[in-house]
Structure 1
């Protein structure tokens, strides 16, 4: 596996652990529907939350939320629709982006963008 793929998978694990520590409940990891994938599907209070995780080893090339383009959002929404139908969900949903950032000292930091798109 390429190094950037390994970094991405590790970032998803870290983001998941961070969100669980904040009270989120993990329902699915890497949910696939056709050509789409949702990194994390979690439940928080009465919300079903679809989360795209983006890893950045710095912000020189931009921030995490800037790397989820229209095409990616469209795929995530399509997969989310399939999941909602699959589990027969009738309550509110939300789409978040979680940025996982590594600073110059090697420390990992998180930034959550709630209601990032729809």
Structure 2
């Protein structure tokens, strides 16, 4: 597996654990529908939360939220629609982005963008 793929998977695991510690309940990881994928799916306070995780080893090339473009959002929405249908979900939903950042000393920090798009 390429190094960036491994970093992305590790970031997803770190983000999932971080959100679980905040009270989120994990339903699915790497949910796929066609070409679309959702990194993490949670429930939180009667919400179904779809989470896109972005890893950055610094901010020199931009922040995590800047890398979820129109095309990526469209794919996430398509997969979310399918997940909602499959699970007969009829309550509110939310789309979040979690940025996972490694600073120069190797420490991991998180930035959570709730209701980032729709």
Q: TM-score range by the shorter chain?
A: over 0.9
The size of the alignment, in residue pairs, is 118
1:93 CA drift (Å) = 0.1
Indicate the RMSD between aligned Cα atoms, in angstroms. 0.3
Structure 1: runs of 5 or more not aligned: none
4+ long deviations beyond 4 Å: none
TM-score between both structures, scaled by the size of structure 2? 1.00
TM-score between both structures, scaled by the size of structure 1? 1.00
Cα distance in structure 1, aligned partners of 2:16 and 2:50? 12
- What corresponds to 2:35 in structure 1? 35
Cα distance in structure 2, aligned partners of 1:68 and 1:45? 25
Cα distance in structure 2, aligned partners of 1:54 and 1:4? 11
The Cα offsets for residues 40-89 of structure 1, whole Å up to 9 and x where unpaired, read as: 00000100000000000000000000000000000000000000000000
